[in-house]
A and B are shown apart, each in its own frame.
Chain A
Amino acid sequence: MRRLRFRSLAVSSLALVAVAAQAGSRPRYGGVARIALQHKVMSLDPLADEEYPATRDRISSLLFETLAVLDSRGVARPRLASWWSADATKRRWQFRLRLANFQDGTALTASDVIASLSKANGAWKYSAADRETVTIESPVPVVHMPELLALEKFAILKRSQDGTLIGTGPYKLGEWQPGDHASLSANDDYWGGRAFPDAVEFQMNASLKEQFLARQLDPFAAAELSIDQLHMVEQSNQSVLLSQPSDLLVLVFLQPDSSSAARAGRRNLDPALRQALSLAVNRTAISNAILQRKARPASALLPQWLTGFEFLIPGGTDLERARQLRNSIAAQAMPPPITLAYDFSDPVAKSTAERIAVDAREAGITLQPYGESHVNTRGARASVNADVVLLRLPLASVEPTVALAQRAEVLGLFPESSAALAAARPEDLFEVERRMLADFRIIPVAHLSQAVWLSYAVHNWIQDAAGGWNLDQLWLEGAH
């Protein structure tokens, strides 16, 4: 919780970090917060299959609200729900709603909540005791249901027949150009009080060339930075926030079990070859050199700072063992070249993939990296013509069970997702994670920090440990 200048750039401490202007004070109303985003967002629907869902959530969370929200310590706090309780099995949860209105003026009711949640999870059963009470019954225990429902995909919104989405959030959607920009204006009737800025404008896929040259962020209040852009502001005493290393760079072998995958000629590679590749990857070199020490070597799906037990999963480089494994396979038949697809719009992914190919070659494994335009959604990956993809997975939550469940779901591992949500103790969650990694279809590479460059006019910009933004109390210096 302290202001960081780039001179002393550091991974944000444990909870949250804010950057403030020179003369911070009581919040000011007014002003327009212009925010530059790295990626394009094509839909604001929290349930849409989006290439960059974390970017989408940065916008949609200002429009649509969830029943609960996580505070700076990762504890679930009331948002649209004012109260909740669970039975002893953690399968039956009851939520009491607060008085709130949608942006079209209609009141939030239990049936609205049920309509939203049932679209997000059809496996749960829902009932409404009255207009303000919703009961959720899950077939399996969900130990941290409020934390799970704090995910943006469980946002409560109304879907009108023309496709318009109506939320209860502190901002209303004004102008929306998919893939280009979104303009949001303050909701004067918001139940939590009108937001301080008059508007928030998001510019997607924004070029920061002029800002880097001028060494000032105007006209933006904030801008996402990729790791390879950090050096552009490194020497000029700028305010930059780094999250904990939370995004996961991971190699995922694609399963040859769907018809589209079969059409794409996908093969089931020898598990020993996958293990050999895992042993060949020099995670430390990738974290320190390619990712400029803004990352930590990853041996598990969740980082050590979040769980405390990543160190139990081995992830060191062992070239000798990798060569032995590769040679034992070669004794039967020459291992085939492995094709590796990465997000071609991400320079960091390209550099990392190329480095992995070099490491693989050291172990006698031929790896051919190439850029793909769409690898981030499960739908897109189904038709990717590659053996393995390099993905960058955001950390969806600072609650470890929810975070692992989400990563399992993104990777199509639904039983493991349910098992993670049912984990009541750290050792239970560790066991789920260990199982997911056991067959080397998933090879963690690095946990990577997220960076945001902030103007000195910005106050109360809260970035949680996982890199998520909470702009609820944002205000701008100089606004009147």
Chain B
Amino acid sequence: MKNASCTPDMLKTAFTQFLGIILVLSPSLWGQQRDANATTAGTEFAQEILSRVSGLPSLAVTFQNLSSMPPEMQESAQNAVFTGLKNAGIRLLPAETAAGEIQIAFSEDWKEYLWIANIKSPSGARMLTKKVARLQPSTVPSTQVLVLHKAVLWQQDGPILDFYREAQNMVLLEPDQISVYANDGGQWRLRQTLAITHPRPWPRDLRGRLLVNGLQINAFMPGTMCSGSLAPPALDCRASDDPWLVDQGTLTAFFSATRNFFTGVLAGQNAGASVPPFFSGATWPGPGQKQWLFAGTDGRARLFENDLAQPAALFNGWGSTLAVIHSGCGPGWQLLVSAPRDAIRADTIQAVEIAGHEALPASSAIDFSGTVTALWTSGKNADVVNGIMQSPGKERYEAFTLSVTCGQ
């Protein structure tokens, strides 16, 4: 049995693509590619038409555009059809004198263009259709003082919760397994998968934290902790409410076993302290004092200074995902903050700096094509943030890193 098939482990593709904040194609390049695609499709369409009008020496051809196809693309398609017919020796004549007639309509449905040829010949009328994909343009954002750089490391169909990558190994934390990839001459090859066992269904908006130290791996999931090693491959999972490491430094906190947030009870150096429940948090050395920031489950971000008894400032209108990064620019530390979006509206991430009790934008926002579901501070000096983006419609996940360079 072949043909229409669907598996949850669909094609996984790897590539390394350094984007900065320049996105895929410039408008002119995009237009050229769009028109080239139209030429290719038009040539194919002409061949399909020819297979149905064999024996006719001449044709009258008319075109009608009922779609959102731009004039340049229509022209490319028309020229390709004309060329294909002429190259096959067909003479193009007015309808009154031609042996047959073809009315071509460039139509579209909600997903793609639909080209329709109504072919009238002495043997009767018939219809021929061709589906042609729409090419979507990309957008180019502007720049500001600090520049955010995004590097896409990996894309796959299926969730990624967290990841670790160095030159030779890449480890992905997924809902039901840890996948270990090895760098094989620039290509990432799946080396092994380690199953994650859990007694209850995972909560919605599943989150997880992956820590890799040499060959040792630890994965934190809601109500579950897994420990093991990359070599020899082993993973042991158990019910656990051990606190998670929230950032790269000293901030640890307890995570709800059945929900998608930190309970607010802190651990480690801050054991005994608690803050309102939060989705993400960060701590960094401020000017002469320690600072914490938590994105609360009530939609407010709370800034604490020196101690965790009372927030020093509240920020509204932020998203729920943030992470701290050590850039060395300006005050040295910035917060990367997601926008207040949901699973459907595409996300943005912007660098902000805390000055006094105010949060000031420090970079332009990077647009994402989906929702940023995780940001975790990473790198030896907290100079990188690992992120996960979920594409609209849930199908595709992307692992990326963010870094900051100082502006001019």
A contact residues vs B (CB 8 Å cutoff): 1-3, 14-18, 20, 22-29, 71-74, 76-78, 82-88, 90, 92, 94, 145-146, 189-196, 244, 304-309, 311-312, 398, 400, 425-427, 430-431, 459-460, 462, 465, 473, 475, 477, 480
B341 touches A (CB below 8 Å): yes
Contact bitstring B289-307, A, C-beta under 8 A = 1, else 0? 0000001011100000000
A193 touches B107 (CB 8 A): no
B contact residues vs A (CB 8 Å cutoff): 1-8, 66-67, 105, 107-111, 113-114, 116, 118, 126-129, 131, 200-206, 258-261, 277, 279, 295, 297-299, 316-321, 340-346, 392-395
B205 touches A26 (CB 8 A): yes
CA distance A82 to B297 in the complex (A): 33
A26 touches B116 (CB 8 A): no
B340 touches A27 (CB 8 A): no
B3 touches A398 (CB 8 A): no
Interface centre among A26, A87, A90, A473, by most chain B C-beta atoms within 10 angstroms, is: A26
A27 contacts which chain B residues (CB < 8 A)? 204-205, 260, 342-343
A-B contact pairs, 5 of them (CB 8 A): A26-B319, A192-B201, A193-B205, A309-B116, A460-B343
Among A83, A90, A425, contact of B5 (Cβ-Cβ < 8 Å): A83
User: How near does chain A come to B52, taking the closest CB pair, in angstroms?
Assistant: 11
A72 contacts which chain B residues (CB < 8 A)? 392-393
Given A29-B259, A194-B203, A87 contacting B1 (CB threshold 8 A): yes
B3 touches A86 (CB 8 A): yes
A430 touches B297 (CB 8 A): no
Among A16, A24, A85, A427, contact of B128 (Cβ-Cβ < 8 Å): A427
B8 contacts which chain A residues (CB < 8 A)? 78, 82-83
Among A194, A308, A431, contact of B258 (Cβ-Cβ < 8 Å): A194
Given A307-B109, A473-B343, A85 contacting B204 (CB threshold 8 A): no
B342 contacts which chain A residues (CB < 8 A)? 18, 20, 24-25, 27, 459-460, 475
B345 touches A192 (CB 8 A): no
Residue of A nearest to B344 (CB): A18
A77 touches B6 (CB 8 A): yes
User: How near does chain A come to B175, taking the closest CB pair, in angstroms?
Assistant: 10
Residue of A nearest to B64 (CB): A311
Residue of A nearest to B280 (CB): A26
B341 contacts which chain A residues (CB < 8 A)? 20, 24-25
User: How near does chain B come to A80, taking the closest CB pair, in angstroms?
Assistant: 13
A86 contacts which chain B residues (CB < 8 A)? 1, 3-5
A73 contacts which chain B residues (CB < 8 A)? 111, 393
Given A193-B201, A477-B299, 18 new contacts (CB under 8 A) = A1-B344, A2-B345, A16-B393, A22-B340, A23-B317, A24-B342, A25-B279, A25-B320, A27-B343, A82-B7, A84-B6, A87-B1, A146-B6, A305-B110, A308-B108, A309-B114, A312-B105, A460-B344
Given A26-B279, A473-B204, A3 contacting B5 (CB threshold 8 A): no
Residue of B nearest to A84 (CB): B6
B258 contacts which chain A residues (CB < 8 A)? 194
B340 touches A24 (CB 8 A): yes
CA distance A77 to B8 in the complex (A): 9
CA distance A82 to B158 in the complex (A): 13
CA distance A473 to B67 in the complex (A): 33
User: How near does chain B come to A35, taking the closest CB pair, in angstroms?
Assistant: 18
User: How near does chain A come to B279, taking the closest CB pair, in angstroms?
Assistant: 5
B127 touches A427 (CB 8 A): yes
User: How near does chain B come to A105, taking the closest CB pair, in angstroms?
Assistant: 13
A460 contacts which chain B residues (CB < 8 A)? 342-344
Residue of A nearest to B7 (CB): A83
B108 contacts which chain A residues (CB < 8 A)? 308
User: How near does chain A come to B343, taking the closest CB pair, in angstroms?
Assistant: 5
B203 contacts which chain A residues (CB < 8 A)? 193-194
CA distance A1 to B297 in the complex (A): 24
Given A14-B111, A25-B340, A27-B343, A189 contacting B4 (CB threshold 8 A): no
CA distance A25 to B278 in the complex (A): 12
CA distance A400 to B66 in the complex (A): 19
User: How near does chain A come to B76, taking the closest CB pair, in angstroms?
Assistant: 20
CA distance A408 to B195 in the complex (A): 48
CA distance A209 to B45 in the complex (A): 56
A305 touches B109 (CB 8 A): yes
B114 touches A426 (CB 8 A): yes
CA distance A29 to B279 in the complex (A): 12
B297 contacts which chain A residues (CB < 8 A)? 26, 28, 480
CA distance A73 to B392 in the complex (A): 10
B201 touches A189 (CB 8 A): yes
B295 contacts which chain A residues (CB < 8 A)? 25-26
A430 contacts which chain B residues (CB < 8 A)? 127
B320 touches A146 (CB 8 A): no
B6 contacts which chain A residues (CB < 8 A)? 76-78, 83-84, 146
CA distance A305 to B66 in the complex (A): 11
CA distance A92 to B3 in the complex (A): 11
CA distance A426 to B395 in the complex (A): 26
A145 contacts which chain B residues (CB < 8 A)? 4
Residue of A nearest to B296 (CB): A25
B316 touches A26 (CB 8 A): no
User: How near does chain B come to A350, taking the closest CB pair, in angstroms?
Assistant: 31
CA distance A373 to B110 in the complex (A): 35
A17 contacts which chain B residues (CB < 8 A)? 344
CA distance A29 to B111 in the complex (A): 34
A71 contacts which chain B residues (CB < 8 A)? 393-395
User: How near does chain A come to B186, taking the closest CB pair, in angstroms?
Assistant: 32
A308 contacts which chain B residues (CB < 8 A)? 67, 107-109, 113-114, 116
A244 touches B1 (CB 8 A): no
A23 touches B316 (CB 8 A): yes
Given A1-B344, A84-B4, A480 contacting B298 (CB threshold 8 A): yes
CA distance A83 to B4 in the complex (A): 10
Residue of A nearest to B117 (CB): A427
B2 contacts which chain A residues (CB < 8 A)? 85, 87-88
Given A27-B260, A86-B1, A194-B258, A465 contacting B345 (CB threshold 8 A): no
A26 touches B345 (CB 8 A): no
Among A77, A83, A84, A465, contact of B110 (Cβ-Cβ < 8 Å): A465
B259 contacts which chain A residues (CB < 8 A)? 29
CA distance A15 to B114 in the complex (A): 17
CA distance A460 to B204 in the complex (A): 13
User: How near does chain A come to B67, taking the closest CB pair, in angstroms?
Assistant: 8
B131 contacts which chain A residues (CB < 8 A)? 426
B1 touches A85 (CB 8 A): yes
Query: What are the 4 A-B residue pairs with the smallest beta carbon separation, nearest first?
Result: A308-B114, A26-B320, A18-B344, A25-B320
Given A1-B344, A25-B320, A427 contacting B1 (CB threshold 8 A): no
A306 touches B109 (CB 8 A): yes
A2 contacts which chain B residues (CB < 8 A)? 345
A23 contacts which chain B residues (CB < 8 A)? 299, 316-317, 340
CA distance A2 to B392 in the complex (A): 12
B345 touches A24 (CB 8 A): yes
CA distance A401 to B314 in the complex (A): 54
User: How near does chain B come to A435, taking the closest CB pair, in angstroms?
Assistant: 14
CA distance A26 to B13 in the complex (A): 28
User: How near does chain B come to A32, taking the closest CB pair, in angstroms?
Assistant: 17
B128 contacts which chain A residues (CB < 8 A)? 427
B206 contacts which chain A residues (CB < 8 A)? 193
CA distance A82 to B10 in the complex (A): 12
Residue of A nearest to B321 (CB): A26
User: How near does chain B come to A296, taking the closest CB pair, in angstroms?
Assistant: 13
B316 contacts which chain A residues (CB < 8 A)? 23
A195 touches B204 (CB 8 A): yes
User: How near does chain B come to A429, taking the closest CB pair, in angstroms?
Assistant: 10
A426 touches B129 (CB 8 A): yes
Interface centre among B111, B346, B392, by most chain A C-beta atoms within 10 angstroms, is: B111
Among A3, A22, A74, A398, contact of B345 (Cβ-Cβ < 8 Å): A3
A76 contacts which chain B residues (CB < 8 A)? 6
Interface centre among B2, B5, B109, by most chain A C-beta atoms within 10 angstroms, is: B109
Among B204, B205, B277, B346, contact of A1 (Cβ-Cβ < 8 Å): B346
